[in-house]
Structure 1
């Protein structure tokens, strides 16, 4: 395939366009290189949240939706929207996979467990609406007891919001299920911060602690969820970092996950759910995951359901709501005739590969995929540079040797540091990204068109100026789009969305856009 230009797409993860104030880490960092590009090259601002990227109305953008839309060249409906529609039209309550689960539980006299993130409505990982719908479904199916294993947030929600979130949930549960007369008893069996339960960087010690909590009843002890959370606060832990805690009754765990039980994983996004799921369901877990751990107990005859597709290599799980992979995403359109490179550090590797390609876990077009290890630390505030120097160094090396025609790279410091709530560290991380952005563009711009954009906002809003409270969540702000090509006048239009980026790339490379891509080129 003949191409007009080589092209590199740089995604500054979590880099939104915000107001110039003391809560905007990007503004405080005064990113000299980025600001120069913004002033001197064609630019526009893109919508990256809510219905513009297939998310529920007014929901902040996230990395999964961002990269899917960037690569698909069309708005891709999020799993949450699909499930919400099924709840609204009542199809949810007739779902055959869910019914298989409850039939299994009845036949085997199993305990029924729900595990997953409990958070506010605008999270990409979990929805209160789905928890309530599952409980309503279980009641209708005649289940008498259900055990909840709750992962606290503090990242896509307030850092100390867990007690209030649980209080609201409990009130709604009681009202929705008509209290004790509903016939369904609800027990919270464990509390655990998402730092442990939702690790995605192969820090297996965190996952092991979570697995042992859920299956062995190992961890700190408390008699109520509120007590567990308050004790964590007294230890200086925010919701994200609450240590695995067993809720007891009579000095014994209320419930652990055992052989023959039914487990429903309530999380929506696969990237932070696969690692824990593997421990439960993979027959050859240790062999398939070098450097992991030996399970104290391998569970047998477990019925394990996931609300959404968690990807390949997970034995014997059943997916409640599956959506088809995206046809003719950018990597597939470029095909084997256009050499491609996808590179990121561990935290965002799935996003530049699985999500950007439209749900393909392995290369379909011969593309090269490179993962650089993220630092192994408790908080990225300890290492604001993260793996950005190594990512950029490797990319430059690859551009000299393999000379790919298309490159996608993710620099994730603004997002990962924004989630820490540490403003100073985030400012430092943005300075690092800005420095390496300059090095990367200076190296590439002679032979590549360079596009700079973001998947969603985060680092530009880190303080609530009215309350002084730290903000760790994503935003609904617009994100930048810059087209860097010297010696040629190119104009870009206003009012774009992330789905417009792939058609723009194809036009710049001189490749026809497939009919599946409904996004519109940003070139005027």
Structure 2
């Protein structure tokens, strides 16, 4: 896999530093745009660089089903690290449902075996059409197939979104779901919602940031412990009434109970499916079900169940062991090529995005490719609502990157500033502006170090978010907490002066074009099969 030399290229002393400004797209120049409103002298100056372009970071450009689908950090970093577009999450599941392959594998057959012997089928996941972690249509497909196979008892453990969809839109999903379950509950079938809660406090933790989130999910879904309600919709309405400011993603967990007993605890002999397709917030619950020697929290009891994910969320670690849909086979990643070519690299972010510059960048594979050539650094994220500390860990990341630049040990450095995305999801304008200004200030420090070391900066984003803080309808503004479908910036700032790079004429450029571009900047021709580079090398 060793790369070939890029003809006409001249070596330079400094590193190539790839900066991913997570969630910082290019929005309209108005007061809804947190990036436009923020103090960003570095980005303002960089926008006039000759090597500046706008890239697609959503929809088909990152492997999603249509251009109506927003991008996300996972598919974005897959595209950045793979140099090509692979069918992703929702698209893979859609294809498997359409072909019937999802119901033809060993996992579904095992589910049928469990349920035919009297076990309950439990479906856990986020109930929305955000299409980032899950899609309600996938849940409906599983329910319809369960009914067609005459599975007698199904329990749904539904998590509220409020992040990739409207922040208080839960009832618009749970009301039709309750009706759908009631319609399927005939001919001896019993289909109900059993438990739920907001995604940020129940079940969907990631990167081991707060295992208490998963513990609360285990208590609600498995043990039936939580505040009891007659129905999920009653729970949602009650929480809304008790706290007019509550948003779906932070809603406390709940349990549906009848005659003072939970209607859907998970028991020996049952089958459990996590129907989220995205991996980062699915891995920890999967570990809790799969690992015999699990020690992150006290599970109290561990029922003997067959557990399967919608997909395998971590291929290297085999999490989970069983899954319904085969993951995309991403091979020949940029990281593999650079290691084979002897390039030293340094990857860093804070906990919230560390997996993106490692696992997702490397084609959904955990761990080092070559530990002798690579160094990965994770800065622990704050365990607090991000609008309360919108600067997050950008300064600490920058400290280490500046040191890495000056050390001369690494030719390629990649980092992710999480601020624009994580704070953007809060929908709080003042915090978003601070988050963006923080990233800009840190960029200034990086650029200064690169200038001193005669390196090259590559600056982009994986999707939009902070570029739209609110939407307005009939004079009423509503917080916009989801990703946008806006393009993202792509900027090269070359402090070496050794090569005459120019923008190439690439049609409909997207994130997948960046890997070939990085190859060129590092002195290599792009590998065969990669989407074309965004630059060309002029003769001096």
TM-score by length of 2: 0.91
What residue is the counterpart of 2:310 in the other structure?
Answer: 307
Matched, 1:492 2:503: yes
Mapped partners of 2:59, 2:360: distance in 1: 18
Contact 1:327–1:516 (Cα < 8 Å) also in 2:
no
Mapped partners of 1:361, 1:402: distance in 2: 26
Matched, 1:343 2:348: yes
What residue is the counterpart of 2:324 in the other structure?
Answer: 320
SS at structure 1 position matched to 2:442 = helix
Displacement of 1:101: 1.5
SS at structure 1 position matched to 2:147 = helix
Contact 1:202–1:275 (Cα < 8 Å) also in 2:
no
What residue is the counterpart of 1:56 in the other structure?
Answer: 65
Matched, 1:79 2:89: yes
What residue is the counterpart of 1:154 in the other structure?
Answer: 162
Matched, 1:405 2:416: no
Mapped partners of 1:184, 1:448: distance in 2: 65
Most deviating of 410-419 and 225-234:
225-234
Displacement of 1:86: 2.1
Contact 1:132–1:173 (Cα < 8 Å) also in 2:
no
Displacement of 1:313: 4.0
Q: What pairs up with 1:58-457 in 2 under 5 angstroms?
A: 58-107=68-117, 109-120=118-129, 122-171=130-179, 179-181=184-186, 184-196=189-201, 197-200=203-206, 201-233=208-240, 234-235=242-243, 236-286=245-295, 292-299=296-303, 301-311=304-314, 312-313=316-317, 317-335=321-339, 337-366=342-371, 367-377=374-384, 379-401=385-407, 403-445=409-451, 446-457=453-464
Deviations 1:361-392 (CA, angstroms, capped at 9, x unpaired):
11113321111100111x10010110111111
Mapped partners of 1:462, 1:56: distance in 2: 25
Matched, 1:511 2:524: yes
Mapped partners of 1:329, 1:448: distance in 2: 23
Displacement of 1:4: 3.5
What residue is the counterpart of 1:522 in the other structure?
Answer: 534
Displacement of 1:316: 6.7
Mapped partners of 2:320, 2:190: distance in 1: 28
SS at structure 2 position matched to 1:409 = strand
What residue is the counterpart of 1:460 in the other structure?
Answer: 467
Deviations 1:135-161 (CA, angstroms, capped at 9, x unpaired):
122112220110000010000011110
Displacement of 1:496: 1.0
What residue is the counterpart of 1:473 in the other structure?
Answer: 482
Contact 2:82–2:334 (Cα < 8 Å) also in 1:
yes
Contact 2:312–2:321 (Cα < 8 Å) also in 1:
no
Displacement of 1:508: 1.5
Distance 1:507 1:313, change over 3 A: closer
SS at structure 2 position matched to 1:317 = coil
Contact 1:139–1:183 (Cα < 8 Å) also in 2:
no
Mapped partners of 1:437, 1:7: distance in 2: 14
SS at structure 1 position matched to 2:166 = coil
Mapped partners of 2:364, 2:329: distance in 1: 5
Matched, 1:30 2:39: yes
Displacement of 1:454: 0.5
Deviations 1:191-227 (CA, angstroms, capped at 9, x unpaired):
2110122111431222211111112221112111111
Deviations 1:256-315 (CA, angstroms, capped at 9, x unpaired):
1122221000111110111122222211111xxxxx32222233x220011111214467
Mapped partners of 2:184, 2:144: distance in 1: 12
Distance 1:153 1:316, change over 3 A: closer
Contact 1:380–1:420 (Cα < 8 Å) also in 2:
yes
Mapped partners of 1:394, 1:81: distance in 2: 37
Displacement of 1:485: 0.5
Mapped partners of 2:290, 2:320: distance in 1: 7
Displacement of 1:321: 1.2
Structure 1: segments with no counterpart, 5+ residues? 287-291
Mapped partners of 1:522, 1:143: distance in 2: 53
Mapped partners of 1:123, 1:85: distance in 2: 14
What residue is the counterpart of 1:289 in the other structure?
Answer: none
Structure 2: segments with no counterpart, 5+ residues? none
SS at structure 1 position matched to 2:434 = helix
Deviations 1:110-148 (CA, angstroms, capped at 9, x unpaired):
12100000112x321001221111112211222011000
Distance 1:59 1:315, change over 3 A: closer
Displacement of 1:244: 0.9
Most deviating of 466-475 and 318-327:
318-327
Displacement of 1:20: 1.1
Q: RMSD of the TM alignment (CA)? A: 1.9
Mapped partners of 2:391, 2:192: distance in 1: 43
Contact 1:223–1:247 (Cα < 8 Å) also in 2:
yes
Mapped partners of 2:230, 2:193: distance in 1: 10
SS at structure 2 position matched to 1:490 = strand
Displacement of 1:398: 2.5
Contact 2:517–2:526 (Cα < 8 Å) also in 1:
no
Displacement of 1:318: 0.5
